[in-house]
Amino acid sequence: MSADLPRTMFEKIWRKHEILQRPDGRSMLWIDRHYLHEGSFLAFAQLTARQARVAYPNLSIAVADHYAPTRAGAEDAEAAGMMARLAEDTAAHGIRFSGWHDQDQGIVHVIGPERGLTLPGLIVVCGDSHTSTHGALGAIGFGIGASEVAHVLMTQTLWQKRPHLMRVTVQGRLGPGVGAKDLALSVVAHLGADGGRGFAIEYAGEAVRALSMEGRLTLCNLTIECGARCGMVAPDETTFAYLRGRPDAPTDFDAACTDWATLPSDAGAVFDREVTLDASAIAPAVTWGTSPEDALPISGHVPDPASITDPVRAAHAREAADYMGLRPGQALESIGVDRIFIGSCTNSRIEDLRAAAAVLTGRRAVVPGLVSAGSVQVRRQAEQEGLAKIFIDAGLHWGQSGCSMCVGMNGDLVSPGERCASTTNRNFRGRQGPGARTHLMSPAMAAAAALTGHLTDVRTLMAGRI
Amino acid sequence: MEKFTSLTATACPLPLAGIDTDQLVPARFLKRTRAEGYGPVLLHDLRQNQGFPLDDPIYAQSRILVARRNFGGGSSREGAVYALVDYGISCVIAPSFGDIFAANAVGNGLLPAVVQEADAEAILAILQAGTVTLTVNLSLTRISSSKGSWRFSIDAEWRERLLNGWDDVDLTRSRQDEIDVFVKHYRSDSGWAWIEGSKQDHLF
């Protein structure tokens, strides 16, 4: 292979981590960071069954997030048991662990970047599909199953087939009141829920470069919702400024920056697929159905299955509208909501909370809602900035940090038939609880829905506030 | 891991697109241990609907499922695969699978057989018209029934793994020397990527 051939960022990182390659094309990759949460108990059980030890305990980092209670004292015995089990498993193997009482606790995909554990040029894995989040820093991050978690624990490596590469270029600038979540939902709707299957996606273009680190984390987080395991953004000054001074960032930070500056894709690097979007055409987005690909601009209407020619897609539209309790052709803005949720690994960082607070300040919500900061650090910062008071004054519950109502494993559930405006990542049937109806949107849009009680274009509430 | 070569069994049609892993096993059941088994909670909430195909007595012995596109998308929960395997399913036929689900499936000896969308529709149609038995031959990558036969595709390496019942951990451990050489070089070259701590030297 010639060193002069232009290479993609993905290729540079992949090659650097390739321990060996088999004739069938599978590579054995070195894993730099392995994040663990309560679901890892199945993997630790595999180690026990093999009487195996963890190869590099220093490269695995564990945190309680999926079962962490957002209301103090509200944890049930089973959830507490799941967290205790992770504490025991990690202690037995010498792995760093943060429990839900600890100051560095938070959602695994929030604390990895926040502590400076996730860095450009690394390969990051976790037994959670939203590990794609970490690609926002210019890393390769992807989710794995429990058996692969066990493999990483035992060997610090993984066998992987190199995915195809797609570049999604977003030209121009996002309009006022339009953010990373709207962009991400628009990308998923454009590609489809399996349109990125078999690909790693690099996001590029002016609108992506202009995103803050929080925005990039949101964009890469939702990459899995189009079926791509990995999304990434080239590291730049935004990345370096975000990481500088983080507790686990490299001691010789400037030397690391010099290395990281070589990571972006070379001019002329070839991608297997190129997709281009116009940022100025993107509006605040919401989902109407039961797949993240069911995203539309807020000015849109529930699709009419009769106007969809593909019978499989028409059947999906019919079944999804039926589950969601919606009529074909219904205006999205006419859909009333019962509650809102602001949080999850998608949208619980400080910028997300600021965006929601900007809409809510001095106003009262007409439906109940829960706001769960992504980490203890984010929660503290939001309290210092006065954001927590804005949420509380608006009538919303200000909760502890964890995965919470995104997946309901900690008991934060949407009731059967209830409709929730949610900043999370999946509107699957029953995701927020059996029979729950989820509409995905940005923190600003969820705040707008809280104020009006129905899906609302946040821009109409933002005069003088943007 | 058990070898997969050829399977002739009852096949149940699930004419749904996007059966995500939250449907295959809802999150509230993920506290279960492997020993408790995940079979009883397979597709738990969808099965609350009257007349769900899997609960029709003629499909009681199903070892094959046939579904529409994007089967197993979403969450990486391996419990979705455990639920299928523990229920007795050894093969799912669909036009596309979630990448993480498919990797988890192969690791547990479950064959994700990818067929053309039109072929999935044809297979669903014959099953719904009363055929109940399919043969899935992994060596030949063919699905057959009394009503016809169809090609399926699977990644070549995954096919080898399933045919031979290989275990990844054993495979990796056989290359430990190469890992050690890599680590030595990597640490001197990319020191910033490391987190200090000692290797467990009683390993392997």
A296: Cβ contacts below 8 Å, ≥ 6 apart: A189, A285, A286, A287, A288, A332
Q: Does residue A280 belong to any structural domain of this protein?
A: no
Domain boundary among A251, A275, A299: A275
Whether residue A306 contacts residue A202, with contact meaning beta carbons closer than 8 Å, is answered with no
Average pLDDT, integer, range A192-212: 97
Q: Does B183 touch chain A (CB under 8 A)?
A: yes
Number of domains into which chain A is organized: 2
In degrees, to the nearest 5, what angle opens at C-alpha A58 toward C-alphas A56 and A61? 110
Same domain, A252 and A381: no
Whether residue A353 contacts residue A378, with contact meaning beta carbons closer than 8 Å, is answered with yes
- CA–CA min distance A435, chain B (Å): 9
Same domain, A129 and A170: yes
Q: Does A406 touch chain B (CB under 8 A)?
A: no
A375-419: pLDDT as tens digits: 999 999 999 999 999 999 999 999 999 999 999 999 999 999 999
Q: Does A315 touch chain B (CB under 8 A)?
A: yes
**Residue-averaged pLDDT of chain A:** 96
pLDDT score at A466: 63
Domain boundary among A235, A255, A275: A275
Neighbours of B178 (CB within 10 A): 14
B39-58: pLDDT as tens digits: 999 999 999 988 899 999 99
Whether residue A292 contacts residue A188, with contact meaning beta carbons closer than 8 Å, is answered with yes
Q: Does residue A244 belong to any structural domain of this protein?
A: yes
Q: Does A262 touch chain B (CB under 8 A)?
A: no
CA gap A327, A320 in Å, rounded: 10
Burial class of residue B130 (count of CB atoms within 10 Å of its CB; 0-12, 13-18, 19+): exposed
- Out of B23, B100, B108, closest to residue A144 by CB: B100
Give CA torsion, residues A446, A450, A452, A458, to 10 deg: -30
Average pLDDT, integer, range A267-271: 97
Q: Does residue A179 belong to any structural domain of this protein?
A: yes
pLDDT score at B200: 47
Domain boundary among A252, A275, A298: A275
pLDDT score at B202: 37
CA gap A225, A292 in Å, rounded: 6
Position B203 confidence tier, pLDDT thresholds 50, 70, 90: very low
Q: Which of residues 177-206 of A touch B (CB under 8 A)?
A: 193-194, 197-198
Cβ <8 Å between B190 and A30: no
CA B95 to each of CA A40, B7, B114, B152: distance values in angstroms, whole numbers, following the listed order: 30, 19, 5, 9
Same domain, A28 and A142: yes
Same domain, A271 and A365: no
Q: Does residue A212 belong to any structural domain of this protein?
A: yes
Show residues of chain B in contact with A197, CB under 8 Å.
70, 96-99
Same domain, A94 and A149: yes
DSSP codes, A126-164: ESSGGGGGGGGGT-EEEE--HHHHHHHHHHSEEEEEPPE
Show residues of chain A in contact with B46, CB under 8 Å.
429
Cβ <8 Å between B172 and A53: no
Cβ <8 Å between B157 and A22: yes
Q: Does residue A333 belong to any structural domain of this protein?
A: yes
The pTM assigned to this predicted structure is 0.97
Q: Does B27 touch chain A (CB under 8 A)?
A: yes
Kindly identify which residue of chain B lies nearest to residue A148, measuring between CA atoms.
B104
Q: Which of residues 34-73 of B touch A (CB under 8 A)?
A: 34, 45-46, 68-70, 73
Cβ <8 Å between A430 and B26: yes
CA gap A183, A250 in Å, rounded: 32
A157-183: pLDDT as tens digits: 999 999 999 999 999 999 999 999 999
Cβ <8 Å between A143 and B100: yes
Tokens 């029934």 — which residue?
B145
Domain coverage including residue A85: 9-275
CA gap B150, A203 in Å, rounded: 38
Show residues of chain B in contact with A144, CB under 8 Å.
76, 100, 103
Q: Does B13 touch chain A (CB under 8 A)?
A: no
Q: Provide, for chain A, the percentages of residues in helix, strand and coil under a 3-state DSSP scheme, each rounded to the nearest 5.
A: 40, 20, 40
Same domain, A334 and A357: yes
Cβ <8 Å between A59 and B197: yes
% of chain A surpassing 70 pLDDT? 98
Q: What is the CATH number of the domain that holds A433?
A: 3.30.499.10
A270-306: pLDDT as tens digits: 999 999 999 999 999 999 999 999 999 999 999 999 9
Same domain, A96 and A243: yes
CA A271 to each of CA A27, A182, A234, B183: distance values in angstroms, whole numbers, following the listed order: 20, 25, 15, 30
Cβ <8 Å between A147 and B104: yes
Same domain, A212 and A318: no
- Out of B45, B78, B172, closest to residue A146 by CB: B78
Same domain, A62 and A133: yes
Domain assignments of chain B as residue spans, ordered by start: 6-166
B184: Cβ contacts below 8 Å, ≥ 6 apart: none
- CA–CA min distance A44, chain B (Å): 11
Interface residue of B43, B84, B100 to substitute, partner A, most A CBs within 10 Å: B100
Q: Does A121 touch chain B (CB under 8 A)?
A: yes
If residue A278 lies in a helix (H) or strand (E), which one and from where to where?
Answer: strand A273-278
A88-140: pLDDT as tens digits: 999 999 999 999 989 999 999 999 999 999 999 999 999 999 999 999 999 99
Q: Does residue A2 belong to any structural domain of this protein?
A: no
Q: How many residues does chain A have?
A: 466
Whether residue A373 contacts residue A345, with contact meaning beta carbons closer than 8 Å, is answered with no
Same domain, A96 and A185: yes
A211-248: pLDDT as tens digits: 999 999 999 999 999 999 999 999 999 999 999 999 99
Q: Does B169 touch chain A (CB under 8 A)?
A: yes
Position A76 confidence tier, pLDDT thresholds 50, 70, 90: confident
- CA–CA min distance B163, chain A (Å): 15
A1-23: pLDDT as tens digits: 555 799 999 999 999 999 999 88
Position A87 confidence tier, pLDDT thresholds 50, 70, 90: very high
Q: Does residue A152 belong to any structural domain of this protein?
A: yes
CA A435 to each of CA A35, A111, B49: distance values in angstroms, whole numbers, following the listed order: 31, 31, 12
Show residues of chain B in contact with A248, CB under 8 Å.
195
**Residue-averaged pLDDT of chain B:** 94
Q: Does residue A466 belong to any structural domain of this protein?
A: no
Q: Write out the E strands in B15-116.
A: 62-67, 91-94, 111-114
User: Under CATH, which number does the domain B6-166 receive?
Assistant: 3.20.19.10
